[in-house]
Amino acid sequence: MLTRALWLTALLSSSVSFASAHDVQTDQLRIVHPFATPTPPGVVNGAAYLDITARTEPVTLVGAQSPVSDSVELHDMQMDGDMMTMRHVSAIEIAKDETLTMRPGGGYHLMLMGLHQPLVEGERFPITLEFAQQDDIEIEVWVQDAQQGSTDADHHHQH
């Protein structure tokens, strides 16, 4: 319990400086509502989702990292026959004027490999996104259940 409380304090204080970066817009791209789904205790990997719009030129996401896990991988989840399989991809390309929409249940996502603690609903944590042509961007990820996170992300596009 003590370890967990200390970790939470560290997480909360570190997330304060990222509080304004939940939605990010630069000349080249727009990132909307990054969220991650809660993980049950003992589950080693988590998943995070975000929407990226390439505004003025193509955008290529080439990597990510976060203090909450050993590493962050770009993954693509697809049906292979009647089995869901996850594939590690080295880059995700978004064409100009296109929006990549990540949602739980399939397709691209950020895989948090080797979580240091379970992801608990209501918490927030940073992820740094690495792009081929643009500077790194730090975003604040909200831990939400799949339904709520998806609904909130969808809402951003109606503005």
Closer residue to Cu ion in complex, CB, 86/115: 86
Closer residue to Cu ion in complex, CB, 1/83: 83
User: Coil, strand or helix: which one is 156?
Assistant: helix
Closest CA to 37 of 114, 135, 153, 147: 147
**Cβ at position 95, least distance to Cu ion in Å:** 23
Are 83 and 92 a contacting pair, CB within 8 Å?
A: no
Q: Which residue is nearest to Cu ion (CB)?
A: 75
**Per-residue contact flags (x/-) with Cu ion for residues 100 to 139, judged by CB under 5 A:** -----------x----------------------------
Binding footprint of Cu ion, residue count (CB under 5 A): 3
Backbone angles phi, psi at 94, to 5 degrees: -120, 120
Six token digits for residue 18? 């990222």
Other Cβ atoms less than 10 A from the Cβ of 20: the count is 9
**Cβ at position 50, least distance to Cu ion in Å:** 14
The one-character DSSP state at 18 is T
Give the interface segment with Cu ion, choosing from 82-90, 113-121, 137-145, 151-159 (CB under 5 A): 82-90
Give the interface segment with Cu ion, choosing from 11-19, 53-61, 80-88, 123-131 (CB under 5 A): 80-88
Spatial distance between the Cα atoms of 109 and 86, rounded to a whole number of angstroms:
10
Are 112 and 69 a contacting pair, CB within 8 Å?
A: yes
**Cβ at position 19, least distance to Cu ion in Å:** 27
Q: Is residue 86 at the binding interface for Cu ion, with CB under 5 A as the rule?
A: yes
Residue ranges that bind Cu ion, judged by CB under 5 A = 75, 86, 111
